[in-house]
Amino acid sequence: MSNSNLNARAVEESETISGKLGASMNVGEGAGFAAFGEKGTRRTPTERKRTFKQWFVDTGWRHVIAWVAIVFALFPLLYIISASLNPTGTLTGSNKLFSAFSLRNYERLFTDPAVPYGTWYVNSLFIAIITSVATVLLCALGAYAFSRMRFKGRRFGLVTLLVLQMFPQLLAITAIFLLMIQIGDVFPAIGLGTHAGLIMIYLGGALGVNTFLMYGFFNTVPTAIDEAAKIDGAGHARVFFTIMLPLVRPILIVVGLLTFIGIIGEFAIASVILTDPATQTVAIGLFQLVSGFQSQNWGVFSAGAILAALPVMVFFLFSQRYIAGGLVSGSVK
């Protein structure tokens, strides 16, 4: 057989084989589209005919729990908003949500001379902001010292700070009151009835859990950064303010937020220290509105509580992206 005949026969056989392969591939492709979904995953007959019961058992119950949690969280907020818009001033008429709509309670907060809400509001913000900033600075200094320095009594100091939080400041409220009276005789500027004295009392109880929380976060920062800065001639102050504080910003914001929320709503110590109505905070002033017998000021109280919650809400929304990292990162070593 000549070479030309062999070449022709080889060409015919290759064309026949390629045709068979093409037909088989077409059949397989059609079967593949029928057996697989759009994303390439095999779909079973059960998935193609999924019932409501199967969906509910798989993921539907999660939606139900989520909606129940949302309603549970929103109902108190809707109720107090409804009470603030009710001009009757009592909670009896607020059982039906938004049955009445009036801004009279909000107007009374700023027009009634007997309710100096604006003064209370400014006092609360001033005390909360100063206390939060000072608390963050003091706790950060303490956490840096415990994390980066080695000195005698370091471990005992950490344990002491943690144990002291078992005894809240409320237990020492009588001793604090007597102490502030004596301090006022010597230094009236920080004595009884002053904002400075109340801020110092708050700062006295600021160390403890906050310092321990920051300490765990400071430990996550590599010590090589400090060593490199010290080789370049930086001291502890420069390392702390220019290097460490920017790196631990999430925990600083978390501690500041928690402190701010606690000071805005604090009542027990503030009511003992601040005796002058011109120096009182929102918590004290609003309590006085509803502490009388058969008080009719619940509408004004609700309006004042809503306005007092606005700074906390704004601060929380501003810092929410730091909260998760600030609370969790310090626990990982």
* Residue-wise pLDDT tens digits, 87-102: 876 666 555 777 778 8
Query: What is the tens place of the pLDDT at every residue in 216-231?
Result: 888 888 888 888 888 8
Same domain, yes or no, for 181 and 298? Answer: yes
Same domain, yes or no, for 72 and 182? Answer: no
With tokens 């058969």, the residue in question is: 294
* 93: containing domain: 51-106
Determine the pLDDT at residue 282.
Answer: 93
Same domain, yes or no, for 195 and 79? Answer: no
pTM of the model: 0.76
With tokens 């502030």, the residue in question is: 180
CB atoms < 10 A from the CB of 309, how many? 17
Determine the pLDDT at residue 324.
Answer: 63
Q: Do 116 and 278 form a contact (C-beta atoms < 8 A)? A: yes
pLDDT bracket for residue 200 (50, 70, 90): very high
| Among 106, 123, 140, residue at a domain's last position | 106
C-alpha distances in Å from residue 107, one per residue of 257, 297, 299, 303, 311: 30, 13, 11, 10, 19
Segments in 41-101 forming alpha helices (H): 45-48, 52-55, 61-84
Same domain, yes or no, for 9 and 155? Answer: no
Q: Check whether 3 has a pLDDT greater than 50.
A: no
Buried-state track 24-52, b at ≥16 Cβ within 10 A, e below 16:
eeeeeeeeeeeeeeeeeeeeeeeeeeeee
Query: What is the tens place of the pLDDT at every residue in 277-329?
Result: 889 999 999 998 888 766 678 888 989 999 999 998 888 888 777 776 555 55
| Among 85, 106, 127, residue at a domain's last position | 106
Spatial separation of the C-alpha atoms in residues 73 and 321, rounded to whole Å = 21
Same domain, yes or no, for 187 and 293? Answer: yes
Same domain, yes or no, for 57 and 92? Answer: yes
Number of structural domains found in the chain: 3
Same domain, yes or no, for 272 and 190? Answer: yes
With tokens 């004004």, the residue in question is: 300
Q: Check whether 169 has a pLDDT greater than 60.
A: yes
Same domain, yes or no, for 95 and 41? Answer: no
Q: Check whether 17 has a pLDDT greater than 60.
A: no
